[in-house]
Amino acid sequence: MSRTVARRFRRPPGKHLNLNVRGLGDSATIAINDLSNQLRTHGHRVIKLGLGQSPFPVPEPVVEALRQHAHEKDYLPTAGLPELKEAVADYVRRKHGVERSPEDVLVGPGSKELMFLLQLVFYGDLVIPSPSWVSYAPQARIVGRLVQWLPTRRESGWKVQPEDLEALFASDEERPRILILNYPNNPTGVTYRLDELKAIAEVARRYRVLLLSDEIYGELHHTGHHVSIARFYPEGTIISTGLSKWAGAGGWRLGVFIFPPTLDWLRKAMTAVASETYTSTSAPIQYAAVTAFRGSDEIEAYLRHARRVLRAIGRWSARRLREAGVYLEIPAGGFYLFPDFSPLRDRLMRKGVYTSELLAKRLLEDTGVAALPGSDFGRPPEELTLRLAYVDFDGEAALRAAATHPSGALNGTFLKTYAAPIVNAIESIVDWVKHA
């Protein structure tokens, strides 16, 4: 390329960017992972509690199915491989008692992409609780939708309260809206009881709000008791899930939306846009996903042990941090903790820490523990919250060992042996705040 041509393309930064994209950086989860990897490459010791990636391997029967289908090379239908759609419809019937047909299923390259398509195609505000996963709001910004943050309180376990929802919806009853409810929750680790789900469903129905139920951590409910809100608001709920978390296959990029038949117009519109953008999801991965969604005794055993390991780490870590004076919920599912260091504000002030961003930064510098600040999840900057993804350990070894341990809770010795980096990270945090 000639110098003049090169210069013509190198305009002042951002000048020709879509206004909604100007100033947008890499997603917080991706950025912290890149930074952690870079630091490790330069010889620093980093415990990676930033990116929420499953520590466990993909279940062997699913890997085997991928091997068997590596030769599948043709484009598949945009909405997904028919056998996979059937397996997913069976899965929601079997797991949740929600009747859906294969036509109600849309397969995509990760549920993240499907969420983006939804926001693009559906015209309405995005209603999300604070705190919420880092990408919902930026996706809304990219497509130019208004974000309505719904504050939650520490005292109510960071859960959406039906009366707050009611107040928001009643302020403009006819406004089209998407409400995203995610549970077991990223970043807090909490989940909802049956009566709470029913109450939220009732408000959503009263205002005819489109409910996106992000159940990507559903199978990682620590005691295996996840219930879909689609049971209580079937006509307005889209269930979102995928292979990333419960099948340990984040990098495979496979997500699914399960629509109610009442929303077929929306599913069709999303499929049309998908056909003009990514065409279809990777064929071999879809064939392998059939095995995951059909399930088997081996996959159930894998999930049982994965839950035991996560439950033990989550409970131990939460208790240890509580003893150090930090406020946090005992997680009920997934692999996140959302500690609030506000009770230690005076002490942290002495370290020059007065925002969650400074808290994450100083923690990484002083202890090598990489975590994300609460502000990335929509919390006020001065609130001293952090998200810890307790995933930096050898999940394969932990699963194998858990299978040889009698059923029931896994003890401290197990954790010190198989989740040592997490135990060390938590002890480092406790030590760090103690010596502030």
Q: Are strands 237-242 and 210-214 parallel, antiparallel or unpaired?
A: parallel
| Number of Cα atoms under 13 Å in the Cβ half of residue 233 | 27
Q: How many CB atoms lie within 10 A of CB 14?
A: 11
Q: How far is the CB of 389 from ligand GLU (least distance, A)?
A: 6
Q: How far is the CB of 82 from ligand GLU (least distance, A)?
A: 28
Q: How far is the CB of 52 from ligand GLU (least distance, A)?
A: 3
Please, which residue, 139 or 291, has the CB nearer to ligand GLU? 139
Name the strand (E) or helix (H) holding 302.
helix 297-323
Q: How far is the CB of 257 from ligand GLU (least distance, A)?
A: 16
Backbone φ and ψ for 108, nearest 5 degrees, come out as -145, 170
> Does 241 sit near ligand GLU (CB under 6 A)?
no
Please, which residue, 27 or 148, has the CB nearer to ligand GLU? 27
- What the block records as the tokens of 249 is 């296959």
Please, which residue, 61 or 138, has the CB nearer to ligand GLU? 138
Please, which residue, 29 or 228, has the CB nearer to ligand GLU? 29
Cα Rg of the chain, angstroms: 22
Please, which residue, 56 or 133, has the CB nearer to ligand GLU? 133
Secondary structure in 3-state letters for 120-148: HHCCCEEEEEECCCCCHHHHHHHHCCCEE
Interaction residues for ligand GLU, span 94-113 (CB under 6 A): 112
Please, which residue, 132 or 367, has the CB nearer to ligand GLU? 132
Q: How far is the CB of 286 from ligand GLU (least distance, A)?
A: 20
Single-letter amino acid, residue 382:
E
Q: How far is the CB of 115 from ligand GLU (least distance, A)?
A: 10
Q: What is the largest CA-CA distance in the chain?
A: 71
Interaction residues for ligand GLU, span 256-315 (CB under 6 A): none
Please, which residue, 182 or 280, has the CB nearer to ligand GLU? 182
Q: How far is the CB of 190 from ligand GLU (least distance, A)?
A: 15
Please, which residue, 133 or 158, has the CB nearer to ligand GLU? 133
Give the residue, chosen from 49, 51, 128, 289, that forms a contact with ligand GLU under the rule CB under 6 A: 51
Closest CA to 232 of 181, 208, 191, 198: 198
> Does 191 sit near ligand GLU (CB under 6 A)?
no
Please, which residue, 129 or 234, has the CB nearer to ligand GLU? 129
Question: What whole-number distance in Å separates Cα of residue 191 and Cα of residue 390?
Answer: 17
Give the residue, chosen from 182, 186, 281, 291, that forms a contact with ligand GLU under the rule CB under 6 A: 186
Cα–Cα–Cα angle for 192, 194, 196, rounded to 5 degrees? 60
Q: How many CB atoms lie within 10 A of CB 146?
A: 12
Kindly state the number of chain residues that form the binding site for ligand GLU, as judged by CB under 6 A. 9
Give the residue, chosen from 47, 52, 183, 207, that forms a contact with ligand GLU under the rule CB under 6 A: 52
Closest CA to 56 of 286, 309, 287: 309
Question: What whole-number distance in Å separates Cα of residue 171 and Cα of residue 183?
Answer: 26
Site string for ligand GLU, 69-98 (x = CB under 6 A): ------------------------------
Question: What whole-number distance in Å separates Cα of residue 414 and Cα of residue 137?
Answer: 39
Interaction residues for ligand GLU, span 12-41 (CB under 6 A): 27, 29
Q: How many CB atoms lie within 10 A of CB 236?
A: 20
Q: How far is the CB of 241 from ligand GLU (least distance, A)?
A: 13
Site string for ligand GLU, 113-152 (x = CB under 6 A): --------------------x-x-----------------
Q: Which residue has the tokens 């195609």?
A: 121
Closest CA to 246 of 223, 218, 268: 218
Cα→Cα distances 258→92, 208, 224, Å: 8, 18, 21
> Does 48 sit near ligand GLU (CB under 6 A)?
no
Instruction: Confirm if 159 and 152 have CB atoms less than 8 A apart.
Output: yes
**Contact footprint for ligand GLU (CB under 6 A):** 27, 29, 51-52, 112, 133, 135, 186, 389
